[in-house]
Structure 1
Amino acid sequence: MKIYRRGVKLDLSIAVVVMFLLLLHMTGMMYKRELHQLFNEEVNISKRGFRRFRSSEIVDKEDETSKVPSEVAEGPAGTKTDHIPAYNMFHQRITKDAMYEPSAFYIFNLLDELATGEISNVSLFPGGSQIKFKIHFKNGNVAIAKPKRHDRGRYWAYDQSEPFWLDNERHNAEIASFHLDRILNFRRVPPCVGRIVNFRKEILPNTKDEEILSTLYINNGNFCFIGNCVPWFCNDNNPICSEGDFMEMSLCVLVYPSVEHPFQDRPFPWSQGIVESEIWKERNICTEMLVDPEITMGRFFLDLMDLAVFDHLIQNYDRHHFTIVVRFNVESFVVIVDNGKGFGNPWKDDTSFLAPIYQCCRIRNSTYQTLLDLSTDGSKLGNLLRLSLSQDPLAPVITEIFFATLERRLGQVLREIDKCIENYGNGEVLVDKVVVI
């Protein structure tokens, strides 16, 4: 089933951006064939998989493909996979290096399943400080959903009047983070898409969660509930509310939903927590990190450098731990999850997020080259993210000012790396593996 977005006229400069984005992230042959359709004088963007929609338009798509092998089963390369739903193919192809490969043809289908799939059960997801839904789909997929709390133009001050620890999570930040991660070619954020659900028809008939139902009320035609989370986020003054019957939310794939403990969290050495940050703000902790086998074994250390770049771009103060996939143990990549507190203020640039970079002066050469590419005309980070996000059902996902903000922050990252290169040389700074001291 192919669903089309409305047509968009592209000029030549945007066509170049389209080509770059497609070549960078969709290098499979099926997408190369689609290039010929993209570069006419007037171009209709016809992305596979989703458009802006009302959830009441959903058609029952259950068929014989609903019964599938376990999501953790291996999927050998080259085997016939036409009958396997996208969410199963996604789980089969997670590797120790990334959530999905650069040419993952099934990602658009997976996003479509999240954006249009029939919901079968809804409950509150336990853990964390704020409200999240756990949503089961009729085809077996499972997602973590975060509801809209504020309008796009509500920015957080990050000062004494609005400290970062009181910042609400933003559903649109989760969506934008997934797209940004793809453009950076990290591929460590679980796939995430926006959706407008019909709260009356899709949520209420499919939930028996008393923490939703017992706090539910109607206010000016909107469905509202308090739920259960930490009291400064879940209280009478901060309800979760629909707009009429409809509620915006982000839906991110719940990775390995049938595994009891699929991930392991470890303390992030450069946490922005008030107490934790006192340590690394008072002294350079990198020498301690480079003699810690828990950090230097496998790919953890250089993944943490990438994570610093990512968190600086989105300004995410909520990174207290880094996460690995248990089944890969010390060979696992660092999973980038819980990005809902990013994209909070386009004018405030806190360069302390770059402490891992300027304290350690080491970063993957491939990451550096990607950042350089994204800073050049014709492949600007902001342009690529704008184009990528334009295909989400909730577009515009973030306000326009953030695209220039990301390019400014990218320049800050590159300047810090260049200072390191000037002081220590390319060979010491741009590395493919950690040199333990």
Structure 2
Amino acid sequence: MKNSKIIKADLDTRGTQLKLLLTLTGQQSVVFKPKWYDVSTVIEGPVYAGKDRYNSEIVAFYLSVILNMPFTPCSVDRAVSFTQDIVPVATKRLINSSFEFNNRTCIYGKCFYCKKQDPVCEDVNFTVYGAVIFNVDVSFKSYRSPWQRTYKKNKKAAWEEDDGYCKYIKERLTKRRLLDLVDVSIFDFLMQNGDRHHYETLYDNVMLLDNGKGLGNPSVSHLDILAPLYQCCVLRSTTLKKLLNLAGGNLRKKLESIPNITNLLTAAHMTAMEERLLIVFATIEYCKNVDRKQ
């Protein structure tokens, strides 16, 4: 994935942002998400603000390994040349969404937010950095998240206003699925991915796909990402054990073992993830107190 020759390049029209669908030697299909921001860039605004962060996809893969939640596609960083690697093997529709600017190739793609005025262009070395993500070429079942946001400033979702929302959810989801979504909320909270509006399943396992909206602002922790946990107050004992094993600095040690971690995760984000783990523990204690009162 990191070094194999690209033998075909096309647009990936799924989702709302520019992605390329690449075929590597051996017919392996991967998705390329380009780098829009420097890793140190702080994204202001709501938790879903800004474009996808390529490093968030890569760190999410490793975090899924650390948490033993093996439902995130393998993802690595890679530099490609649009001029040398992509255009010579590109489909017609990809070529039609590319142009040259200052002798460098730019691509704007075809998606909900794609426009020619906002392309990705090669740098001075004629390269573009990004994340290469294993393309799981199967049909997933997609479901709307019970904790989906409205994405409107003046309109809240039911889960944001109803203290008894989880009672409603428990009548509509199996216990296993609810526990899955609590696990996902902890995973997303550590990364600060508040854009899980849908979730996909494969063989009834909830997959952790599309993790590009994490790692936006290390100084802010959006507690409402944990709503499935603190509203339902259920948690697998195995999940708790995994989290406890990451306490006392172990999460940082494991994060620091990620290859090229300094190119993917700032010290501020690493510290923030450690602090959010403590918030997860505090939330679990809150749930214990709620249970005692009931």
TM superposition score normalised by structure 2: 0.92
- The structural deviation recorded for 1:382 is 2.2
Residues 235-265 of structure 1: per-residue CA shift (max 9 Å, x gap)? 344211121321111111111x2x4xx1011
Matches within 5 A, 1:109-258: 114-158=1-45, 163-210=46-93, 212-230=94-112, 233-243=113-123, 244-255=125-136, 257=137
Q: Which has the higher contact order (CA 8 A, sep 6+)?
A: 2
- The structural deviation recorded for 1:221 is 4.3
Q: 2:174 aligns with which of 284, 296, 299?
A: 296
2:223 aligned residue: 351
- The structural deviation recorded for 1:181 is 1.0
2:252 aligned residue: 382
Matches within 5 A, 1:272-351: 272-274=149-151, 277-283=156-162, 284-292=164-172, 295-296=173-174, 299-325=176-202, 328=203, 332-351=204-223
- The structural deviation recorded for 1:273 is 3.0
- The structural deviation recorded for 1:180 is 0.8
Identical-residue share of aligned pairs (%): 30
Paired with 1:417 and 1:181, the residues of 2 have a C-alpha distance of 20
- The structural deviation recorded for 1:222 is 3.0
Residues 341-398 of structure 1: per-residue CA shift (max 9 Å, x gap)? 1111111111011111111000011111111111124x2x12211221437xxx5112
Paired amino acid for 2:17: Q
**Change beyond 3 A, Cα 1:417–1:117:** same
**Change beyond 3 A, Cα 1:215–1:266:** closer
* Cα RMSD (Å): 1.9
Paired amino acid for 2:90: T
**Change beyond 3 A, Cα 1:168–1:400:** same
CA contact (8 A) 1:383 1:403 kept: no
CA contact (8 A) 2:47 2:216 kept: no
Bigger strand fraction: 2
Paired amino acid for 2:254: L
Paired amino acid for 1:398: L
Equivalent residue of 2:283, what SS? helix
Residues 121-162 of structure 1: per-residue CA shift (max 9 Å, x gap)? 01011221101111111202111110111111221111xxxx
Give the greater-gyration-radius structure (CA). 1
Paired amino acid for 2:158: I
Paired with 2:234 and 2:288, the residues of 1 have a C-alpha distance of 9
Residues 153-192 of structure 1: per-residue CA shift (max 9 Å, x gap)? 221111xxxx455510111110010011110111111111
TM superposition score normalised by structure 1: 0.63
Tell whether 2:145 aligns with 1:268. yes
CA contact (8 A) 1:273 1:320 kept: no
CA contact (8 A) 1:175 1:250 kept: yes
CA contact (8 A) 2:43 2:49 kept: no
Equivalent residue of 1:116, what SS? coil
Paired with 2:190 and 2:156, the residues of 1 have a C-alpha distance of 19
CA contact (8 A) 1:124 1:209 kept: no
Count of matched residue positions in the alignment of Structure 1 and Structure 2: 289
Paired with 2:256 and 2:174, the residues of 1 have a C-alpha distance of 36
Residues 258-295 of structure 1: per-residue CA shift (max 9 Å, x gap)? x4xx1011111111333685200111311111121xx2
Residues 309-350 of structure 1: per-residue CA shift (max 9 Å, x gap)? 01111111221111101xx2xxx2100001001111111111
Unaligned stretches of 5+ residues in structure 1: 1-113, 429-437
Paired with 1:218 and 1:157, the residues of 2 have a C-alpha distance of 31
